[in-house]
Copies of this chain bind each other. A is one copy, B any other.
Amino acid sequence: MQVQGDQSSAGATAKPMRLALLGVGMMGGSAAQAWRAAGQVSQVVGFDVDGAALQTALAGGVIDEAAPSAAQAVAAADVVLLAVPVGAMAEVLAHIAPTLPAQVLITDLGSTKASVIAAAREHLSAQQLVHFVPAHPIAGAERSGVAAADAALFAQRWVILTPQPGVDAQAVLRIEQIWRACGARIERMSADEHDQMFAAVSHLPHLLAYALMACIGEQAQGQRALQFAGAGFRDFTRIAASSPPMWRDIALANQAALSAQLARYREILARMQAQLDAGNGVQLHALFEQASQLRGQLAGVGHER
């Protein structure tokens, strides 16, 4: 029985939680602000290879302290948040593994999960892996940079957790607790299921939007045509403003699942072109109708922005 008066009710959260934020971009900065605003962390130590971004984060109060290296950032942390592009996860994990405190919680924001888990398996010890909870918050990211960080980014959003067999159940619950406190909804699934689903509903659409802009950019009349593009075009291509290096990394990190989705999509376009060239209005209409009905259902699930 505890005899510490008022503090006893606060339980485990009474201890100040120290967050090591590795990568101070829009997503990492938003997470740090959201976690702090929700009372889940009390102190944030940040590191970024981009020194200017790190100073911006410090000046803006997103982090309380700028560490001179990733290894030093994590040395006294209670929880480590990997908020670097998925292509940089392995390198960062290799850097921090030697200085990670025992029992430290480790999680991430990566848009692909199998690749991050593979990197963790390669660089973390078996004991460290027990406290690693892979996570993917589904939140918009076509803006980038810590100046675009937003503490409210995760309200009503999904956070997908892909915990591995053997993980400490308390570690998973703690990460769930942090995100729920930020207003997010939690779903657990396997990393493979995650990667296949997000290849279809996130990674492929990004490729398609980039491809449309590239297609227009290659045409002599492209610039003039863009002048008259309507709201539908702007919505469709909004994600093509997303960070090119981040999406290159995601595409390569989820190469197999994304390639399969792209091949499947190209088959549908080939079918559509045959129908168009044949003037087959019946089949075109059937495809549009099927698509339109499915999109109509979407209004009833999840959330609109």
- Residues of chain A having any CB pair with chain B under 8 Å: 138-142, 157-158, 160, 187, 193, 196-198, 200-202, 204-219, 221-222, 224-245, 247-249, 251-252, 255, 258-259, 261-266, 268-270, 272-273, 276-277, 279, 281, 284-285, 287-292, 294-299, 301-302, 304-305
Please tell me if the beta carbons of A291 and B214 are within 8 angstroms of each other in the complex. yes
Chain B residues contacting A140 (CB-CB under 8 Å) are: 230-232
A-B contact pairs, 10 of them (CB 8 A): A140-B231, A201-B230, A201-B233, A211-B268, A226-B297, A229-B302, A262-B273, A262-B276, A263-B273, A266-B273
Chain B residues contacting A243 (CB-CB under 8 Å) are: 292
Q: Which of B200, B201, B241, B292 contacts A242 (CB 8 A)?
A: B292
Chain B residues contacting A214 (CB-CB under 8 Å) are: 268, 287, 290-291, 294
Copies of this chain held together in the complex: 2
Instruction: Indicate whether A295 sits within 8 Å of B240 (C-beta atoms), given known contacts A200-B219, A302-B227.
Output: yes
Please tell me if the beta carbons of B287 and A210 are within 8 angstroms of each other in the complex. yes
A183–chain B nearest beta-carbon distance, Å:
15
| Extra A-B contacts (10), CB below 8 Å, given A211-B287, A251-B276 | A138-B230, A141-B232, A197-B228, A202-B232, A202-B233, A212-B265, A217-B294, A237-B298, A240-B295, A244-B285
